[in-house]
Amino acid sequence: MTVAQFLQQWLKDYAATHVRPMTLEGYDSIIRVHLVPAFGSAPLAKLTPAPNQSLYASMLERGLSATRVERVHRCLRQALHHGVKWGLVVRNVADAVSPPRPKHKEMETLTPSEAARLLDAIRGTVIESWVGLSLYTGLRRSEVAGLKWADVDLAGGSLSVTRTLQRVTGKGLLTQPPKTARSKRKVALSAQAVALLKRHRAAQLERRLQAGPTWEDGDWLFSDETGRPLRPDTMSHQFAKLALSLGLATARLHDLRHTHASLMLSQKVHPKIVSERLGHSTISMTLDRYSHVLPGLQEAAAQAFDEVLATSARVQVH
């Protein structure tokens, strides 16, 4: 059995039934573009660490990022892990290879004034609804795209994340369960978010009347002029144009999620609440990811402790 044959078997027998469609698409691309051309014809049983290390060095020389190389390494390592379990190889040679360490990238967030400027810029536009909701809730792009009106309780001021919507090559738009068990959640809506969705509902009903019989009623919260769900990649493209027009050229749609979390933490919202709103699997993930906000919270906590003791001392004196 060659390495290429094994990797195809791993994709079909394991990955196709155990990972999400977007992850499977990524694995397939890595195998076709990088692993098979590098050593796909080699016998699996004779694969050594050296070709792997050479592949990673070659990728860096061609200008590919360390992050990309690490993804290739993770894919190969996971595949060979199953090769060991299946008795096809004696050891996982990827364990003996050291991929380059990706450079730490500073998280992009909007300042409060930039966020306010963005909300002003989108007011009354066709993208106001989903851009605004992304900022107000911190939902992932796929979660926003997957929302239906049945998930929204305007009277109660909340929405439920029960599905995601993603585009998969060759399969079109697919709905999937949320990323993790904690990603399936109920998120409280602010008064501004509720007002935003009420305006959006009125505008969508008007578009529905104009569309007449061509309207496809899928109950999608965010849809095009015929009722079909918005494509996640279209959302990112439209946001990029908006950000560029506001002088925020490096801002991505996902950065609204980071902005939501950072602004809440800076306002002393408990990290556990922030973690629940974001749908993180653990609170430690939230604390690690947004550690840049925490030093200010530490100073505020120390000051608050002093104020408690000072107040107590004044009470005792009087």
Question: What are the domain boundaries of the chain?
Answer: 3-96, 112-252
Q: Give percent of the chain with pLDDT exceeding 90.
A: 76
User: 266-300, pLDDT tens digit by residue?
Assistant: 888 999 999 999 999 899 888 888 877 666 666 76
User: 67-97, pLDDT tens digit by residue?
Assistant: 899 999 999 999 999 999 999 999 999 999 9
DSSP secondary structure letters along 20-46? -HHHHHHHHHHIIIIIHHHHTTSBGGG
> Cα 200 to chain center, whole Å?
24
- Predicted pLDDT at 296: 62
Read off the pLDDT of each residue in 207-234 and give the average, rounded to a whole number: 95
308 SS3 class: helix
Under the phi-then-psi rule, with left for phi > 0, alpha for psi from -120 to 50, and beta for the rest, what region is 279?
left
User: 185-206, pLDDT tens digit by residue?
Assistant: 999 999 999 999 999 999 999 9
Does the pLDDT at position 107 exceed 80?
no
| Buried-exposed string 77-116: b where 16+ CB fall within 10 A, e elsewhere | bbbbbbbeeeeebeebbbeebebbeeeeeeeebbeeebbe
Read off the pLDDT of each residue in 122-134 and give the average, rounded to a whole number: 96
CATH class of the domain whose range is 3-96: mainly alpha
Read off the pLDDT of each residue in 46-55 and give the average, rounded to a whole number: 93
CATH of the domain spanning 112-252, picked from 1.10.443.10, 1.10.240.10, 3.40.50.300, 1.10.3720.10: 1.10.443.10
Average pLDDT of the chain, as a whole number: 91
pTM higher than 0.85, yes or no?
A: no
Read off the pLDDT of each residue in 233-251 and give the average, rounded to a whole number: 94
